[in-house]
Amino acid sequence: MGENLRIPDEEIKGTMDRRVDVYIWDMDETLILLKSLLNGTYAEAFNGLKDVQKGVEIGKMWEKHILDLCDGCFFYEQGLHNLFDQETMKLWNELYDITDNYTDGWLSSARDFLEQCSSGKTETTSTASADGMVDSTDSTYQHVNVLVTSGSLIPSLVKCLLFRLDNLITHENVYSSWEEGKIQCFQWIKERFSSSNVRFCVIGDGWEECEAAKTMRWPFVKIDLRPGSSHRFPGLTLRTVGYYFSVVYGSPGAENDKD
């Protein structure tokens, strides 16, 4: 449970002599789309260009898979391929592709951007370690993806698996604000990465993470579902996020401003 897990102090101390950029992500309507598919607001933003009912049906299929996996056996570290047969995996992969096509590449673009944030570069060669820290190709910096979701913990972990985020966000870095609220989760994250070399940036679509980021005096990038926006997927770039970093922390973050 992310809200109760901390990386041991001795493991963090070795990283704090380098700058660490911590990206704090919302999940729903940011890295993935679900609620806006189910209630039709994603399709409605396209003013008739998207089939609303098709989006609702896609959302219901995801909802069923998530509930089925939560009710059955669930072990985050095992991964889907170790739990289910090829036919089931094929169905999930097909649903992922159908959703990605319907949303003009939202899922794959968000995942690619998550990888870019992991390395701080548009071309990534980095992998997440067991503690969730990611070494970029430049040893001066580290990048960490943390998920703070308002959903309860088990369904949120299931979503990470089904939407192919589990190898980019380790289970130690998944926090549920279901009971404690996002501001409390943000405070825990700040304590966990306590150092003058750490920069934080919150990325999400909701008012709660916006207010929490404001309280923490962290930059907040608001995701916008509307087509044509630069704050959606595809659309959001490291240059844009780098601008938000620089407004709060100053220009030394220029390394993160690359496309």
Q: How far apart are CA 259 and CA 88, in angstroms?
A: 37
Is residue 143 within 8 Å of residue 136, measured between CB atoms? yes
Active site residues: 26, 28
Going from the C-alpha of 39 to that of each of 32, 58, 66, 140, the distances in angstroms are 15, 11, 17, 45
> Using an 8 Å Cβ cutoff, are 36 and 27 in contact?
no
Q: Are 134 and 183 in contact (CB under 8 A)?
A: no
∠ CA 144-148-154 to the nearest 5 degrees? 110
